[in-house]
Structure 1
Amino acid sequence: METAKGVLSHLSALEAQARSLRVRPRQRSRVEELRARVKALTAQRDRLKAEISVHKDIEKRKMRLKNQCAEEEEMETEDGENEQLLQLMARQMQLKELLYAHHIIGGYDITKTCRGKSVCVTLSTAYEGAYLDTYNLELDTRPTLRISRHNVPPFIPLGDLCERADLQDDLRGFLDTLSTHLNAFVGRRQQLRLVKELHPSVTVMESNMLCSILVLMLSTTRQKTTLLCTLNYTDHTRCLPTGVCFECEDEKLPQSPEWKNNRKLLMETPLHKALGAMKNMVLIC
């Protein structure tokens, strides 16, 4: 019995020793894991401190940009290379803020006038990648927002657009609508100019200031006759016509499949390009 007890106690001791050997590696592993975590958090803290320091320097330089004289005086005492880098970073942040503000107001240029009592909004127009006319609105901000002066063409329904839009609560919506009308107008006018430049054989018989109606005389090649083409732009927010009508001595010609296709072409393609396609098909001179 004593021998059995001795064997059992020896086995128990060995089992306890094995358990302790298994626990120690786990403890060491946990300690190493915690040490690595502390090291990572310390590095993160140092990085955040450095970023905060740089951000404070950039903010100081942004303030200096508002006062060029003060900026130049302080720059003389700064380290050259670091100062230039921080100055560029400050300028970059300032430009990003300006671009964001520009995006918020819809991309329109707005400047203060009359000591802050009014603002001037600039609307640029373009067609096919070419910048064309620029229009300006001066808006009084007190006591309520209203248009005091502008150079918008009189045939643009500015009064109607103001009535439809709520200037007090949706200035951007009003500017977007007005910009659409202006860009459509200059687009139609630009197409007319390109027709005169690129297609001298096409005679412009009639047009109005808004370029909302246009009458052209076309010379056909196969029938050897002339044909009047009337384009109506009843939707003043678009550069394409809403209606195309052909008139000819040969009443059957406008109803032919060829000229029905030409009508569709003129309603879906800018005028100068549609006429060029018709010339390439040898339909007009």
Structure 2
Amino acid sequence: MEAAKGVLVLNHLSALEAQARSRRVRPRQRSRVEELRARVKALTAQRDRLKAEISVHKDIEKRKMRLKNRCAEEEEMETEDGENEQLLQLMAKQMQLKELLYAHHIIGGYDINKTRRGKGVCVTLSTAYEGAYLDTYNLELDTKPTLRISRHNVPPFIPLGDICERADLRDDLRGFLDTLSTHLNAFVGRRQQLKLVKELHPSVTVMESNMLCSILVLMLSTTRQKKTLLCTLNYTDHSRCLPTEVRFECKDKKLLESTEWKNSYKLLMEMPLHRALGTMKNMVFIC
């Protein structure tokens, strides 16, 4: 009897243990099922979102084509009203502007527009110095029958013909524009330096200058010796804002051999003119 009772107790314990195991497994199974259902729901939402994006992209492409041809746009435009239509139009214009900006970057940042005659393009070159935008110059290029400059407002003292020959306008338009832009920016840079000298250093007298600002003659007054001397700056490299030669003239030859004027020579060769004069004034070389 006791043996039979022991067997019954063991069977009962085994049944309880199996029941406990099944209870532990069921929650895990339920959690796995819920996880899979959530995954399916997320993938379904992603699929629907991608379908919507593809549909919007197709609409935008259609409107981009219509924006390129106003007449075709008026004939083919579907009668859609409301905020969605306006939003799609704006998105189409935004994508078109992005494409124009990319093309603008490819051609070197120059503004290029078709001419009214339809036979060429007009290129705009902007100049700047020390963060300030200055003059703007324009070139009208005929593309038929061959590429050539038909009109421009580049100053006559800029060697436009020589730049065309060196850069080869027909085969390397980007190189030609880069070289011309370098010359124009150097010119307006030298001119701006001269303007700043007159504004910031009234004690310095500009004795001579030319239209290209490639030659400058200044009269300087020393602080300690109370003497005057002439400073001539030559800019033989017209593609740079810094001089290629600096020369001092003074009756006192010993003064020109002094350390301070040797240092002044280096300043004028390595710094913009208005800054170099400011440094010389701070060092009490000139008044």
TM-score (norm 2): 0.81
1:125 offset after TM fit, Å? Answer: 0.9
Q: 23-32 or 53-62: which moved more?
A: 23-32
Q: Cα–Cα, structure 1 residues 246 and 5, in superposed 2: closer, same or farther, change >3 Å?
A: farther
The C-alpha deviation readout for 1:109-139, integer Å capped at 9, x for no partner, is: 1111253212111111111122211111111
Q: Using the TM superposition, name which of 252-261 and 186-195 deviates more.
A: 252-261
Instruction: Give the Å deviation of 1:233.
Output: 1.1
Q: Shift in Å at residue 103 of structure 1? A: 0.8
- Aligned residue for 1:3? 3
Q: Does the C-alpha gap of structure 1 residues 179 and 3 become closer, same or farther in structure 2, counting only changes over 3 Å?
A: farther
Shift of residue 33, structure 1, vs aligned partner: 9.6
User: In 2, distance between residues paired with 1:4 and 1:168?
Assistant: 111
Instruction: Map Cα deviations across residues 159-201 of structure 1 (whole Å, 9 max, x no partner).
Output: 1111111222210111000000000001001111111122121
Separation (CA, whole Å) in 2 of partners of 1:187 and 1:162: 22
Of 107, 112, 124 in structure 1, the residue corresponding to residue 126 of structure 2 is 124
After the TM superposition, which of the residue ranges 179-188 and 109-118 deviates more from structure 2? 109-118
Q: Write the deviation string for residues 221-268 of structure 1: whole angstroms up to 9, x where unpaired.
A: 101000111111121111111221111111121221111111111112
Q: Does the 8 A contact of 1:205 with 1:215 survive in 2?
A: yes
* 1:167–1:36 Cα change, 3 Å: farther
| Contact persistence 1:136–1:151 (CA under 8 A) | yes
User: What corresponds to 2:140 in structure 1?
Assistant: 138
Please say which of residues 2-11 and 153-162 is displaced more in the overlay: 2-11
Question: Which deviates further from its counterpart, 11-20 or 32-41?
Answer: 11-20
Measure how far apart 1:218 and its partner are. Answer: 0.3
Q: Given the superposition, is the C-alpha separation of residues 247 and 40 from structure 1 closer, same or farther in structure 2, using an over 3 Å criterion?
A: same
CA RMSD in angstroms comes to 3.8
Higher deviation after alignment, 26-35 or 104-113: 26-35
Q: Secondary structure of the residue that 1:217 maps to in structure 2?
A: strand
Q: Identify if the C-alpha distance between structure 1 residues 169 and 11 changes in structure 2 by more than 3 Å, giving closer, same or farther.
A: farther
Distance 1:207 1:216 in 2: 9
| Structure 1 residue 84: Cα displacement | 3.0
**In the TM superposition, what is the alpha-carbon distance from 1:5 to its structure 2 partner?**
28
Is residue 185 from structure 1 mapped to residue 154 from structure 2 by the alignment?
Answer: no
Which stretch of the first structure deviates more once superposed, 52-61 or 36-45?
Answer: 36-45
Distance 2:265 2:132 in 1: 27
For residues 242 and 9 of structure 1, do their structure 2 counterparts lie closer, same or farther at Cα, with a shift above 3 Å needed? farther
Secondary structure of the 2:71 match is helix
CA contact (8 A) 1:75 1:83 kept: no
Distance 1:278 1:156, change over 3 A: same
Q: CA deviation at 1:219?
A: 0.6
More deviation, 90-99/1-10? 1-10
Counterpart-to-counterpart distance in 2, 1:85 and 1:78: 11
Counterpart CA distance in 1 for 2:231 and 2:4 is 120
Following superposition, the deviation at residue 48 of structure 1 comes to 2.4
Cα 1:36/1:166, change in 2 over 3 Å: farther
* Gap change, CA 1:117 and 1:72, over 3 Å in 2: closer
Change in Cα spacing, 1:14 to 1:139, as seen in structure 2 (3 Å) is same
**Percent identity for Structure 1 against Structure 2:** 91
More divergent stretch after superposition (73-82 vs 88-97): 73-82
Shift of 1:155: 1.6
Note if contact 1:61-1:87 (Cα within 8 Å) is conserved in structure 2: yes
1:152–1:9 Cα change, 3 Å: same
| Number of residues of Structure 1 aligned to a counterpart in Structure 2 | 285
- The equivalent of 2:57 in structure 1 is 55
1:90, distance to aligned residue in structure 2 (A): 1.7
Task: Provide Cα deviations, 1:43-78, integer angstroms capped at 9, x if missing partner.
Answer: 443332211111122223334444668878999953
The answer to whether the 8 A contact 1:126-1:183 is kept is: yes
Name the CA distance, whole Å, in 1 between partners of 2:51 and 2:115.
42
Residue in 2 that maps onto 1:75: 77
- Judged with a 3 Å threshold, the aligned counterparts in structure 2 of structure 1 residues 72 and 273 are, in CA distance, closer, same or farther, namely farther
